[in-house]
Amino acid sequence: MLLWPASLRLTRQHQPVRTFALDIGNTAVKYGCFEGNALLESESGQTAAQILAALQRLRPTHGIVASVAEPTGEWAAALRQELSGQVLEFSPATTPLPLHNAYATPHTLGADRLAAAVGAAWLRPGHDTLIVDAGTAIKCDLVEGGHTFRGGSIAPGLRMRFEALHKLTGRLPLVEMPAEAAAPIPLTGHDTQAAIRSGVLNGAAAEVNGFIASYQQQFPQLGVVLAGGDAAFFQPRLKGLIFGIPELVLIGLHRILAYNVKL
């Protein structure tokens, strides 16, 4: 009978488990593949066919799916066809969590907000953290002491603001985001498009900085974790101790899966 060398047997026995986190957002489908606690790969804007190709190439064993846009059942069923281990459908109202959820209406809480809070709590244990998730909506959420999700605020995202000005008025044009996220936005717009761009972009940055300043008055050691598709715009414009972690929601989903499944 063939016996593996002892060193090889040890490597095989302790090989980290691969997990797959799937985040169904309002505008994009994102995935992250983890080995142990390390993020091996992540992608955004994925089709079902691209997700399947990633699963077949990366060969994870366990998975978790969360959605703010549609029911998770069909996605979970598709994952179960490819994965040999458990697939968890994340529900903010019922799924056990590695932090305390103090939100008054967990059944109305977006899965992305709570997953981001779990990710922030794991990355900054024992610390007060404000999460700024700048995506379709701009969410500012507080994790107190690294262990309690308190809730926060939800406001229109950048593109939603541009679209609202165009659709809800008679003559204002639809203005696009600047090609370079970090490019300066003049405070005074000398034409209509520039004025809209200043109002939306400078206004949103001032709004988020105002939230940060207000939270800092209550929590002087506050750290800010920045995530979401428009994080690159906000990164150079926010004040305080800023940690840019684009994969925060995926990290949180992975931690929720690890908490619920014996890996």
- Catalytic residue positions? 112
Task: Give the sheet arrangement for strand 129-134, strand by strand.
Answer: 100-101, 148-156, 137-144, 129-134, 223-227, 242-244
The phi and psi torsions of 152 (rounded to 5 degrees) equal: 175, -130
The phi and psi torsions of 64 (rounded to 5 degrees) equal: -145, 140
C-alpha angle 164/165/169, rounded to 5°? 105
8 A C-beta contact, residue 72 and residue 24: yes
Burial code (b: 16+ CB inside 10 Å, e: under 16) for 232-260 equals: ebbeebbeeebeebbbbbbbbbbbbbbbb
> Which helix (H) or strand (E) segment is 261 a member of?
none
